[in-house]
């Protein structure tokens, strides 16, 4: 393994695949069956199990990426957010064969202290506000807050709130990209 940076306190087990340009910081533990893409950043005290991370993924401090979690390219995971992997854990019952797959699609952002209940999908470019608890799948470009998480609007690829006109059209204030709202789904034009 070469072409990436790891802090001397990081533990990277044999067999882990790590892409070039990736930075692995203090007290990170990467298991041997993890696959991490190019140009990722894993902050202090991150754990990566049998997970798949795309390119340009940012994982902030104190996040555990457990088995069966897949993060596509350009995903952001805020500090201390949580992925679960079993619906009904019990310390006295082994449920490792019951892990539920969780997928976070390209460009999605998950805020600090968010909890993602396993078995759900977070859509492309969705934005989950800090502290939310996600108990069901989230649509692409959706803005979700609260406990339980509830949809309150739509965001652009750049993360700005979209305001749709009477024709269901909106423009990102930063990038000027155009979006269309049709049948309760947002699509770039």
> pLDDT (tens digit, 9 = 90+) per residue, 81-100?
999 988 888 989 988 888 89
56 lies in a domain?
Answer: yes
Alpha carbons 36 and 19: distance in angstroms, whole number: 6
Mean of the pLDDT values across residues 50-55? 97
User: Do 179 and 165 contact (CB within 8 A), yes or no?
Assistant: no
For a pLDDT cut of 90, what percent of the chain falls above it? 92
Measured CA to CA in angstroms, residue 169 lies from 45, 136, 182, 188 at distances of 42, 27, 9, 10
Range of the domain at 30: 5-86+98-161
- CATH number at 25 reads 2.160.10.10
User: Do 141 and 123 contact (CB within 8 A), yes or no?
Assistant: yes
Residue 1 pLDDT > 60: no
pLDDT confidence band for 150 (50 / 70 / 90):
very high
Q: Which SS3 state, helix, strand or coil, does residue 107 take?
A: coil
pLDDT digits (tens, 9 = 90+) for 162-176: 999 999 999 999 999
Indicate the average pLDDT of the chain: 96
34 lies in a domain?
Answer: yes
Q: Bigger pLDDT: 85 or 77?
A: 77
Task: Report the half-sphere exposure of 76 (CA within 13 A, side-chain side).
Answer: 17
Task: Locate the DSSP E strands across 34-75.
Answer: 35-36, 41-42, 47-48, 52-53, 58-59, 64-65, 69-71
Position of tokens 């990436």?
4
User: Do 174 and 160 contact (CB within 8 A), yes or no?
Assistant: yes
Structure tokens given for 159: 């993360």
Alpha carbons 22 and 14: distance in angstroms, whole number: 17
12 lies in a domain?
Answer: yes
Number of domains, the chain: 1
189 lies in a domain?
Answer: no
pLDDT value for 2: 67
93 lies in a domain?
Answer: no
Q: Bigger pLDDT: 98 or 159?
A: 159
Q: Bigger pLDDT: 131 or 97?
A: 131
176 lies in a domain?
Answer: no
Mean of the pLDDT values across residues 25-51? 98
Mean of the pLDDT values across residues 26-48? 98
Bridge partner list, 41: 23, 58
141 conformational bin, left if phi > 0, alpha if psi -120 to 50, beta if neither: left
Q: Bigger pLDDT: 42 or 88?
A: 42
Q: What is the pairing mode between strands 102-104 and 127-128? A: unpaired
179 lies in a domain?
Answer: no
Angle at 24 between CA 49 and CA 135, to 5 degrees: 45
132 lies in a domain?
Answer: yes
pLDDT value for 46: 98
């Amino acid at each position: 393994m070469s072409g990436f940076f790891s802090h001397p306190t990081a533990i990277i087990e044999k067999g882990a695949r790590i892409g070039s340009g990736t930075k692995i910081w203090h007290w990170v533990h990467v298991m041997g069956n993890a696959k991490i893409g190019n140009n990722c950043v894993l902050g202090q005290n991150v754990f990566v199990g049998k997970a798949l991370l795309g390119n340009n993924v940012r994982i902030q401090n104190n996040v555990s990426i457990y088995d069966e979690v897949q993060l596509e390219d350009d995903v952001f995971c805020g500090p201390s957010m949580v992925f679960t992997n079993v619906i009904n854990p019990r310390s006295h019952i082994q449920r490792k064969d019951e892990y539920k797959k969780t997928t976070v699609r390209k460009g999605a952002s998950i805020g600090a202290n968010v909890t993602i209940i396993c078995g759900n999908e977070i859509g492309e470019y969705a934005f989950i506000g800090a502290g939310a608890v996600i108990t069901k799948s989230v649509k692409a470009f959706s803005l979700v807050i609260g406990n339980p998480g509830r949809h309150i609007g739509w965001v652009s690829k750049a993360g700005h709130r979209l305001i749709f006109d009477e024709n269901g059209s909106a423009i990102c204030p930063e990038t000027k990209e155009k979006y269309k709202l049709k049948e309760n789904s947002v699509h770039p034009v």
